[in-house]
Structure 1
Amino acid sequence: MTKVIANLLYSKEHEWVLQLDENRVRIGISDFAQKQLGDIVFVENPGVGDEVTANESIGSIESVKTASEIYTPVSGKVVRVNEELDDAPEMINDQPYEAGWLVEVELLNSEELQVLLNEVQYETFVNEGEE
C-alpha cells in the first residue's frame, strides 16, 4: 500500500510539494516513486541558487534497478538542498516524506500549485495506474 500524506500536493511525475510559507516549498518524491525505484544509491540535486522551471528536470535519482529524472512541479530558485542525501540517499526509501526531502524552492509563481493533485486525487491517479 502506498503511503500518501494529507497536507502535501503531488505531481503526476510522483513528486510531492509541501508549502512551507507563502513563497517557499519543499519538494521530494512520493512513497510510490521510491517503491518503484527500489534501493536508492545516489541522488543528484540542483545547486542552491539554481533557477528551476516547472515540469523540467532538476536532477536524477539512481537505484540498484534504474535511474530516473527528478522533475520540479514549480518554477523558482533553489534556496536549500538536502545535503544529507549525499552520504545517505537511502533516506528517501526510509522516509520519503520526512528526512528524504530533496530541495526547497522559492516560488516564482504560486499559482502553479493549483494544478497539483491533493492526496485523494493522487491516490486515485496511482491506483488507476496500477490496474
Structure 2
Amino acid sequence: MTVKYTQEHEWIRTEGAAATVGITVHAQDALGDVVYVDLPEVGKTYAKGEVAGVVESVKAAADVYMPLDGEVTEVNEALRADPSLANSDPLGQGWFFRVKVADASQLEGLMDETAYGEFAKNA
C-alpha cells in the first residue's frame, strides 16, 4: 500500500490497480468545517488533473482533482451523508472516492509524505 500526495492537497492510497482518494489534513484545516461534498459519478473516467468533485465548507468551496488517470469505481456515501467526516477523519473514513488506476506510472510524479509535509508548510 502506497500513499502519495498532490500539489492540490489530495491524497491517493494505492493497492495494486485500485486506489482511494481524499483530501489531506492540510486541506481540511484550510477549509474549516466541511458542510457539503459533490462526489463523482461511478463509472466515469477522468484524466489526471480533471475536477472530480467539490468540497464546500463554511469558509470556501474547493475542487477535488483526480490525482491520476482512472475510472471511478465507488464513492463514499457515508461522506455524502456526513460531510464532517472529511474533517474528523480525512485520511480514513473521510475518503472521497475509489478508482481503477489506468496508468500507475503517474504515481511517480506525486509526492511522498515527507515531500508533501515540506510542501504543505509553504502552502
TM-score where L is the length of structure 1: 0.90
Where 1:120 maps in the other structure, the secondary structure is helix
Q: Which residue number corresponds to residue 15 of structure 1?
A: 10
- Residues 106-127 of structure 1 show CA distances to partners (whole Å, capped at 9, x for unaligned) of 0110001110000110011111
Q: Which residue number corresponds to residue 97 of structure 1?
A: 91
Where 2:37 maps in the other structure, the secondary structure is strand
Amino-acid identity (%): 35
**Structure 1 unaligned regions, length at least 5:** 1-6
Q: Which residue number corresponds to residue 121 of structure 1?
A: 115
Measure the CA separation in 1 of the matches of 2:57 and 2:72: 24
**Structure 2 unaligned regions, length at least 5:** none
Work out the number of aligned pairs and report it.
122
Compute the RMSD of aligned alpha carbons: 0.8
Q: Which residue number corresponds to residue 56 of structure 1?
A: 50
- Residues 2-30 of structure 1 show CA distances to partners (whole Å, capped at 9, x for unaligned) of xxxxx52100000001012x211100000
Contact 2:22 2:95 in 1 (8 A): yes
TM-score where L is the length of structure 2: 0.96
Contact 2:39 2:80 in 1 (8 A): no
What displacement does 1:128 show? 2.5
Query: After the TM superposition, which segments of 4 or more aligned residues of structure 1 sit over 3 Å from their partners?
Result: none
AA paired with 1:56?
Answer: E
